[in-house]
Amino acid sequence: MENILSVRGLKVDIPLAAGTLHAVRGIDFEVRRGETLCVVGESGSGKSLTSLAIMGLLPKQAQRSADRLDFAGVDLQHASNRDMRKLRGDRISMIFQEPMTSLNPAYTIGDQLTEALLLHRKVGKAAARNRAIELLEKVGITAAASRMKQYPHQLSGGLRQRVMIAMALMCEPDLIIADEPTTALDVTIQAQILRLLKDLQRELNMAMILITHDLGVVARVADKVAIMYAGEMVEAGTVNEVFTEPRHPYTRGLLRCIPVPGRTKAGEHLGSIPGIVPSLIGNMPGCAFRSRCDEAIPACAADIPKRLSSSGHLYRCVHDYGPLSSLSSSSGLQAKSGEA
């Protein structure tokens, strides 16, 4: 299966008065057509900036660099603004993090849905409107034709999120980036949105990058998972590899924070990770997690090379951990990818 997106050595630096903020620090990953990559990490780890770097939507002061940033044969690193405008909304689409503010309050839902199709395809307004109504119905919005005349403030958060998904799918993109698409939605709506995304992905054979901090979501939808911490990708592999044999202390700490069905008793304390993410301003030699790691040793202050197992499981740690036995048999973390 072909790679639709290949990223090598991606960096995002932001000059500040106090120094340069190294927000994304040399990450590598690939996404194949029809595959779901989940990017996981706590707030401030660089997940959203990574997606904005791919889309070419970084703030003006941010500086992007990469050894390779290839989308289906297109060099995104050197693509002009005009070339990126041709790609965005057509072959690459993004569902932004906050549905309450991602839609323009001054335009109707119909105007915002049809804009991308009219821009990227040689179709008339009637055809664009029919396509928008079709997608609104596909994402589960009733009375779709009447919704076209409504403004964002007339829709609930769940409906706005569905509109955002429909908007991202208008041109049937090759890659869709979903930046925490279920934020601020209740649990029932979250499950519906995730199931909808997976169904549409299978139908259209799209690649998907799903950014989240919810490992339960990852277990249900991911083919591969990448764990980010302090701007670095500290671990990456298939969802089963990362969940059953986590090789980085940060990944292991995240997994210990999850209640295990059938094992975690009511009222029992869950695991936690002490401390906070360090400042990313200036140089940061060694492992950024060592100040929060119970197993840190002097070698952690030196450069940490990437390690790759025979199966392709990548991680950055001086330790060599085995399976995380306390979680390896958890049914909640062993769901097959694609089960939403």
Range with the poorest average pLDDT among 18-22, 83-87, 98-102, 165-169: 98-102
CB burial string 219-235: b at 16+ within 10 A, e below: bbbbbbbbbbbbbbbbb
Q: Could you tell me if residue 270 is inside a domain? A: no
Residues 129 and 206 in one domain: no
**Phi/psi of residue 51, each to 5°?**
-65, -40
The separation between CA 311 and the C-alpha centre of its own chain, rounded to angstroms, equals 23
Residue where a domain stops, chosen among 170, 200, 229: 170
Q: Are 308 and 333 within one domain?
A: yes
Both 80 and 104 in one domain: the answer is: no
Counted domains in the chain: 2
pLDDT at position 331 is: 34
Tokens representing 68 are 């390779």
Domain boundary residue, one of 153, 170, 187: 170
pTM score: 0.88
- The H or E element spanning position 75 is strand 74-75
Same domain as 315, residue 214: yes
- Asked if residue 104 belongs to a domain, the reply is yes
Is residue 201 in a domain? Answer: yes
Taking a C-beta distance cutoff of 8 angstroms, is the pair 23, 12 a contact?
yes
pLDDT score of 153: 93
Same domain, 17 and 125: no
Give the model's confidence band at 155: pLDDT under 50 very low, under 70 low, under 90 confident, else very high.
Answer: very high
Out of 138, 170, 202, a domain closes at 170
Residue 330 scores a pLDDT above 70: no
Q: Is residue 271 part of a domain?
A: no
More confident position, 314 or 339: 314
- Residues 217 and 307 grouped into a single domain: yes
Q: What is the mean pLDDT of residues 308-322?
A: 83
Region 310-330: mean pLDDT is: 67
- Per-residue model confidence as pLDDT tens digits over 238-260: 999 999 889 999 999 998 887 77
57, pLDDT greater than 80:
yes
Question: In this model, does residue 340 exceed pLDDT 60?
Answer: no
Asked if residue 269 belongs to a domain, the reply is: no
Mark whether 51 and 149 lie in a shared domain: no
Q: What is the mean pLDDT of residues 145-156?
A: 94
Other C-beta atoms closer than 10 Å to the C-beta of 276 total: 10
Residues 19 and 143 in one domain: no
Check residue 1 and give its pLDDT.
Answer: 67
Instruction: Note whether residue 251 is domain-resident.
Output: yes
pLDDT reported for residue 215: 85
How far apart CA 298 and CA 99 sit, in angstroms, is: 45
Same domain, residue pair 36 and 152: no
If asked whether residues 198 and 84 sit together in one domain, one would say: yes
* Mean pLDDT across 72-77: 93
| Mean pLDDT score, 44-54 | 93
| Sign of the torsion formed by the C-alpha atoms of 255, 256, 262 and 264 | negative
Q: Is 146 helix (H, G, I), strand (E, B) or coil?
A: helix
Percent of the chain with pLDDT over 90: 59
Distance, CA of 97 to CA of 94 (rounded, Å): 9
What would the pLDDT profile of 220-229 be if each residue is shown by its tens digit? Answer: 889 999 999 9
Q: What is the pLDDT of residue 320?
A: 79
Residue 132 domain flag: yes
In which domain, by residue range, is 54 found?
3-91+174-260+279-339
The reported pLDDT for the residue numbered 310 is 74
What gap in Å lies between CA 100 and CA 157, rounded to an integer?
6
- Rounded mean pLDDT of the chain? 87
Tell me: do 151 and 119 sit in the same domain.
yes
Q: Is the pLDDT assigned to residue 325 strictly greater than 50?
A: no
If asked whether residues 186 and 234 sit together in one domain, one would say yes
* pLDDT band per the 50, 70, 90 thresholds, residue 322: low
pLDDT tens for each residue of 101-146: 889 999 999 999 999 999 999 999 999 999 999 999 988 898 999 9
Specify the CATH number for the domain of residue 218: 3.40.50.300
268 belongs to a structural domain: no
Residue 285 or residue 38, greater confidence: 38
Mean pLDDT computed over 316-332: 58
